Structure 1
Amino acid sequence: MKKFELTNEFITNMFGTKLFRIRALVEFGDVEAGELGGYVEKESNLGHDDNAWVYDNAWVYGNARVYGDAQVSGDARVYDNAWVYGDAQVSGDARVYGNARVYGNAWVYGNALVCSDEDYAYAHGFGSVNRTTTFFRLKDGGVGVRCGCFYGTLAQFRDKIRETHGETKKAQEYLMLADLMELRFEEDENEVGNRKYVE
């Protein structure tokens, strides 16, 4: 039996993917029939069994799954191939992505980033709001970047920096950081066999 439906209300993420607000069809857990939830890309992002729910303005998309009695709330984002299940809770501005698994009685909240099965590095204190920028190896061997609302490749990151910051000192810092991360993730023939990836 279906416990929720996708409404006509939607938002579009940075990749142009539509995410639809969900509405409960029946009462379960602490959710009442007719209650609006967060946003999912497709029905398979949220299980119809048990009490799993996406609350508030949280997003679940890509091949991510939330099921069991798991809860995703606040402005949390769950995407790529991540799974949240059991009694796990993801809230605040937390991000769960890559091939990460959050389960059992785990709580992920605040500004936490949870990712797994990849090489990654991060830098804190750059940009106009001193945010943390995370760099990680992609399956194709390239470098991915997560910085605030931005998520894309290293080349796309450089383009976005030039577009947003022009020739300012902030732009120079970000571009130097991108150069450093390109060097950091450069192929090393001795390490290729031990490497892990982000989808």
Structure 2
Amino acid sequence: MNEETKKYRLTEKYIQYKGRILYRIQAIKNFSDVNCGEYGGFVESEENLNQYDNSWVYDEAKVYGDARVEHAANVKESAVVFENAIIFQYAVVKGNAKVYGNAWIRESAHISGQARIYDEVRVAGTVKGNSIISGDVTIYGNAYIRSKGTVRTSSDYVIVENINLDNQILTIYKARNNEIYVTNQEGYEQSLEAFMTNEKDCGEVIYGVLLINGFNLK
């Protein structure tokens, strides 16, 4: 690649992490919200962060192995991305989140908190808190999983739309100890049991949606 087209360089500042050497990156031109000369996070090689788009690794974030960050995606704060994971399009991974295995984080997905995303997972929604998403699962569009979500199969979560709750989009998902929670994108969260008690008019509709979608109620 022509050196003039590159957006960053690997500096001589490095750390040893999990038996690997990771290099602090530095922007060598202005792009997106990054200024020329600004330092970023750490990568193992230029294969980890695309040189010709608006993607960036910020703060103390780390990307290594065969992982890639592309398009306008960001990895921030203390997040770690490794193995064969791909962060792309407009996705953001931040906090202390870890993304690895063959996971793809895409579209406008947001991963934060202590979330762990791995295996063959594909995420286009929002995952935060202490959630663990694994297996061969796709978390899509309007899904909003937080707290202690534990999604290992497609039967562990359901998105519910078009019910009489001010047009809210709800995500119902499995958590630790087989608890079931209801959330929305405004940060609302409570147990399914409490929701069914408080929203009696919608209870039958919700239950029907869960059964139709094969949600694992056990």
1:47 aligns with 2:55: no
Q: Equivalents in 1 of 2:99, 2:132: separation in Å?
A: 15
SS of the equivalent of 2:47 reads helix
How big is each residue's C-alpha offset from its partner over 1:46-80, in whole Å with a ceiling of 9 and x where there is no partner?
00122100000000000000010000001000000
Percent identical among aligned pairs is: 43
Distance 1:134 1:4, change over 3 A: same
- What one-letter code is carried by the residue in structure 2 that aligns with 1:4? Y
Q: Describe how 1:78-157 pairs up with structure 2 within 5 A.
A: 78-117=81-120
Report the AA paired with residue 89 of structure 2: G
| C-alpha distance in 2 between matches for 1:103 and 1:72 | 12
Q: Deviations over 1:101-139 (max 9, x none)?
A: 000000000101111239xxxxxxxxxxxx999999xxx
Equivalent in the alignment of 1:197: none
Q: Secondary structure of 1:45's match?
A: coil
> Which of residues 9, 16, 19 in structure 1 aligns to 2:13?
9
Structure 1 pair 2/97, CA: closer, same or farther in 2 (3 Å)?
same
Residues in 2 aligned to 1:87 and 1:133: alpha-carbon distance in whole angstroms = 21
Runs of at least 5 residues in structure 1 that lack an aligned partner in the other structure: 119-130, 137-199
Contact map agreement 2:114 2:131 (CA 8 A) in 1? no
Could you give the per-residue CA deviations for residues 69-106 of structure 1, whole angstroms, max 9, x where no partner exists? Answer: 00000100000000000000000000000000000000
The RMSD of aligned alpha carbons is: 2.2
Choose which of 66, 71, 95 in structure 1 pairs with 2:69: 66
TM-score in terms of structure 1 length: 0.58
What is the total number of aligned residue pairs between the two structures?
Answer: 123
Rounded to whole Å, the distance in 1 between the matches of 2:132 and 2:63 is: 21
- Residue 42 of structure 2 is aligned to residue 25 of structure 1: no
Structure 2 residue identity aligned to 1:70: A
Q: Whose RCO is larger (CA < 8 A, sep 6+)?
A: 1
